[in-house]
DNA sequence: GCCTTCATGTAATGAGTTACATGATTCT
DNA sequence: AGAATCATGTAACTCATTACATGAAGGC
């Protein structure tokens, strides 16, 4: 008997609710407004996800209150702490190998919750793991590229350029966070 | 009653079989060896996909022949033509919005099948659509970045850098294809 | 009164994951 | 002979997608 890991969408919804109570419809709109279309805003994804979160006790449904009897969801204390420990999960090699969307989602939410030192640490780990994976893709490229048709080789170069771009981003992000000045506090008030 | 579109994995398998007959296990190994881990090599994904392709009449299963009675699959003529028209599908805006993996998969296979002029055209369309989408993300960034926490803004910048990297890649790939010299032929022999 | 949008859902379908099952073959 | 690995699958489960259903509010 194992605990099934919630999906990325589950954590996205949980995180959005960290900004205050919202209805399912509000959440859908908020996701639909995001320019990077990476998570689904379809009702068939959102509402079942909300039910999963509620079953877990991570969110609670308030009474009908809004203009049309819409029921707002909010984080429970257990939900909040589950969300924070999701943010704090160590960055594994396997996390950076695919599209890395889950890591980015976590990063996007960190600013509102975690102290800057932890965010820095996350970026360092992110850069390290991505660079390590990049090196392995490069090795593969060196050994196999000659045997590929031109477009196959170029597709591999696409992947390499992608991971290079991620490494550069991580470095830049770390620098920007460092330069942002120590004046603003972590998440206390 | 509508025809359901085959999955990316279906087309990947179909494309790999374009290189000659292979068993399910061969296909699994070939996918597992790829450095960019984007498609699943799990038997629970591969074997049902092969059955779907066979049901469509796009691949055929040969008689048991190999060392352990393994049965090799091969493309049928209908499968070959379905694969080529998949390669030739126009690049839509929505195709570039997500991770763009399907487009890259198509591109990787083009070299073995399509004439260079069509590959060039694909890259032009890819660049155009990606640049257009990038512009829309930039507009969103300009208007909303100020209201975001630092990590949210940086996550958006990650997306922007990603799409910039894709545009650069497309330009470079087009140039390399052009420079490759006109001596090798398209796909006739 | 009617139509559109708001708001919340359900149903059917289908793909992918993990884990397990099964037999054959090669290694030692 | 026994173990590992080859090779092909199946079963249970979860999640997402598309499309549809339902009803209430507000504009005209």
pLDDT digits (tens, 9 = 90+) for B102-112: 999 999 999 99
Residues 36-55, chain A, touching B (beta carbon < 8 A): 36-38
Nearest CA to A58 out of A14, A119, A115, A102 is that of: A14
Query: To the nearest whole number, what is the mean pLDDT of chain A?
Result: 91
pLDDT tens digits, B142-185: 999 999 999 999 999 999 999 999 999 999 999 999 987 665 54
Q: Is A174 on the interface with B (CB under 8 A)?
A: no
pLDDT (average), residues A16-30? 94
- Does the beta-carbon distance from A165 to B169 stay under 8 Å? no
- Does the beta-carbon distance from A37 to B154 stay under 8 Å? no
Does position B187 have pLDDT exceeding 60, yes or no? no
Q: Å from A162 to nearest chain B CA?
A: 7
B50 pLDDT band (50/70/90 cuts)? Answer: very high
Q: Quick one: pLDDT at residue B47?
A: 95
pLDDT tens digits, B58-86: 999 876 665 555 779 999 999 999 999 99
Q: Quick one: pLDDT at residue A66?
A: 53
**Which nucleotide is at minimal CA–C1' distance from B45?**
C16
Within chain B, residue ranges assigned H as helices are 8-17, 24-33, 43-56, 77-87, 93-97, 101-110, 116-144, 150-179
Q: Is A157 on the interface with B (CB under 8 A)?
A: yes
Cβ A92 vs Cβ A129: under 8 Å: yes
Q: Quick one: pLDDT at residue B4?
A: 80
Q: Quick one: pLDDT at residue A188?
A: 43
Nearest CA to A157 out of A142, A167, A172 is that of: A142
Does position B189 have pLDDT exceeding 50, yes or no? no
Does position A26 have pLDDT exceeding 60, yes or no? yes
Q: Quick one: pLDDT at residue A163?
A: 97
Residue recorded with tokens 């059955």:
B51
Query: CA(A48)–C1'(C7) in Å?
Result: 15
**Which nucleotide is at minimal CA–C1' distance from B51?**
D9
- How many Cβ atoms sit within 10 Å of the Cβ of residue A25? 14
Q: Lowest-pLDDT range, A15-19, A59-63, A65-69?
A: A65-69
Does position B53 have pLDDT exceeding 50, yes or no? yes
A187 pLDDT band (50/70/90 cuts)? Answer: very low
A vs B: CB pairs below 8 A: 113
What percentage of chain B exceeds 70 in pLDDT?
89
Q: Is B177 on the interface with A (CB under 8 A)?
A: yes
β-sheet bridge partners, residue A60: A74
Nearest CA to B108 out of B1, B32, B184, B36 is that of: B36
Query: To the nearest whole number, what is the mean pLDDT of chain B?
Result: 91
CA–CA gap between residue B149 and residue A170 (Å, rounded): 17
Q: Quick one: pLDDT at residue A62?
A: 75
Q: Quick one: pLDDT at residue A1?
A: 41
Q: Which of A94, A151, A178 to mutate to test the interface with B (most CBs of B within 10 A)?
A: A151
Within chain A, residue ranges assigned H as helices are 8-17, 24-33, 43-56, 77-87, 93-97, 101-110, 116-144, 150-179
Higher pLDDT: A178 or A65? It is: A178
- Does the beta-carbon distance from A108 to B155 stay under 8 Å? yes
Residue recorded with tokens 């296990």:
B25
User: Which chain A positions have a beta carbon within 8 Å of B154's beta carbon?
Assistant: 107, 169, 173, 176-177
Q: Å from A14 to nearest chain B CA?
A: 16
Does position A180 have pLDDT exceeding 60, yes or no? yes
User: Residue B181: left if φ>0, alpha if ψ -120 to 50, beta else—which one?
Assistant: left
Q: Å from B38 to nearest chain A CA?
A: 6
Q: Lowest-pLDDT range, A75-89, A90-104, B1-15?
A: B1-15
* Coil, helix or strand at residue B73: strand
Does position B34 have pLDDT exceeding 80, yes or no? yes
Angle between helices A116-144 and A150-179 (to 10 degrees): 160
- Does the beta-carbon distance from B165 to A161 stay under 8 Å? yes
Nucleotides, chain D, CB distance < 7 Å: 6-20, 23-26
């Amino acid at each position: 008997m194992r605990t099934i890991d919630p999906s990325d969408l589950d954590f996205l919804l949980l995180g959005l609710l960290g900004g205050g109570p919202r209805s399912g419809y509000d959440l859908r709109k908020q996701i639909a407004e995001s320019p990077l279309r990476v998570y689904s805003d379809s009702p068939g994804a959102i509402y079942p996800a909300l039910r999963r979160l509620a079953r877990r006790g991570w969110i609670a449904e308030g009474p009908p209150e809004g203009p049309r009897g819409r029921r707002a969801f909010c984080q429970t204390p257990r939900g909040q702490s589950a969300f924070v420990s999701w943010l704090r999960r160590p960055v594994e090699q396997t996390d950076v190998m695919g599209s890395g969307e889950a890591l980015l989602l976590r990063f996007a939410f960190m600013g509102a919750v975690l102290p800057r030192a932890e965010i820095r640490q996350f970026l360092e780990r992110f850069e390290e793991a991505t660079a390590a994976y990049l090196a392995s893709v490069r090795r593969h490229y060196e050994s196999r590229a000659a045997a590929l048709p031109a477009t196959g080789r170029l597709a591999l170069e696409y992947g390499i350029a992608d991971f290079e771009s991620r490494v550069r981003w991580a470095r830049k992000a770390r620098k920007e966070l460092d330069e942002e000045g120590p004046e603003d506090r972590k998440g206390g008030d």
